[in-house]
Amino acid sequence: MAPILQTQMEMIKNFHLQLQKICTPLGFDSLTVLAHACHETGNLERVIGENNYWGIKTPQYSKWTGLVAKVITHEYVNRKKIKVIATFRDWATPKESIEWYCNFIKNNYKEAYQQRNNAFEYFPALVKYQTKYATDPNYAAAAIERYKWLKKTFFQDKQ
């Protein structure tokens, strides 16, 4: 991973404190959820809208009535990376976003939810089954690398 600025390190640490308060009581490993957010946002540098830390889109068929953000992003089609314009969900506060994310995983990614306190099983489960979280064929491996980097960089022997 590339070196990060002190302000970015503080953002990551502060976001992790919020995750601990909300995710841990729900049985999620807060560092795994942090790794997912950092993987999706480039260490919180590219949050979608105000508070979409996980790249959660709003499908056309969705009844979502909350905030949205249209963003140029990329998808993998037949293992080829292409640019697309997509509509993403957004939330007014980080707390709303975190709570929604936890429920989203619980309700839509059962296998990942069962592994929510084990990053090494959680990330592969997000992309292994019929409902895939991401189209990137290297998604799980990259997210696990982000988890290991965060643990080494910020939380040596603290988790």
21 part of a folded domain: yes
Q: Sorting pLDDT into bands at 50, 70 and 90, what band is 134?
A: confident
Is the pLDDT at 159 greater than 50? The verdict is no
The chain-wide mean pLDDT, for the chain, equals 90
57 part of a folded domain: yes
Taking the whole predicted model, whether its pTM rises above 0.85 is answered as yes
C-beta of residue 134 within 8 angstroms of C-beta of residue 126: yes
**Which conformational region is residue 68 in: left (phi greater than 0), alpha (psi within -120 to 50 degrees), or beta?**
beta
159 part of a folded domain: no
Mean of pLDDT values over 76-100: 91
For residue 53, give the CATH number of its domain. Answer: 1.10.530.10
Mean of pLDDT values over 59-72: 87
Is the pLDDT at 2 greater than 60? The verdict is no
107 part of a folded domain: yes
Q: Which domain holds residue 30?
A: 6-154
Per-residue pLDDT, 5: 67
Number of domains in the chain: 1
Is the pLDDT at 24 greater than 90? The verdict is yes
83 part of a folded domain: yes
Is the pLDDT at 130 greater than 80? The verdict is no
- What separation in angstroms does the CA of 44 have from each of 82, 111, 121, 144? 23, 26, 23, 17
1 part of a folded domain: no
Per-residue pLDDT, 153: 87
10 part of a folded domain: yes
